[in-house]
Amino acid sequence: MVMPVGTKTYNCSHCAWKITVHHASDVLVVHFDKCPQCGHPVDMTRAGLIETLMARINPFNRL
Ligand SMILES: [Zn+2]
């Protein structure tokens, strides 16, 4: 199975904010250093299969 490269999940351990971003291009890269809701540093992980599929289906997460 080929996994899409560049799909990442950012999550905040402080307020449970979470987003999965699918990077359709290497040119436009969005990176979250801090949680947009509370400012706490966020953890970045490579998205799992379900999260990857959800990010690709949801047009708001496709950047
Ligand atoms: Zn937060």
User: Domain residues of the chain, as ranges?
Assistant: 7-61
Distance 43 CA to ligand 1 centre (A): 10
**pLDDT value of residue 3:** 44
**pLDDT value of residue 59:** 67
Distance 54 CA to ligand 1 centre (A): 21
Q: How confident is the chain (63 residues) per 10-residue block, as mean pLDDT?
A: 67 93 68 92 88 78 55
**pLDDT value of residue 53:** 84
Distance 18 CA to ligand 1 centre (A): 8
CA–CA separation, 53 and 63 (whole Å): 14
**pLDDT value of residue 5:** 58
**DSSP 8-state secondary structure symbol assigned to residue 26:** S
Distance 2 CA to ligand 1 centre (A): 32
pTM of the model: 0.65
Distance 23 CA to ligand 1 centre (A): 22
Non-local (6+) Cβ contacts of 46 within 8 A are: 7, 8, 9
**pLDDT value of residue 43:** 93
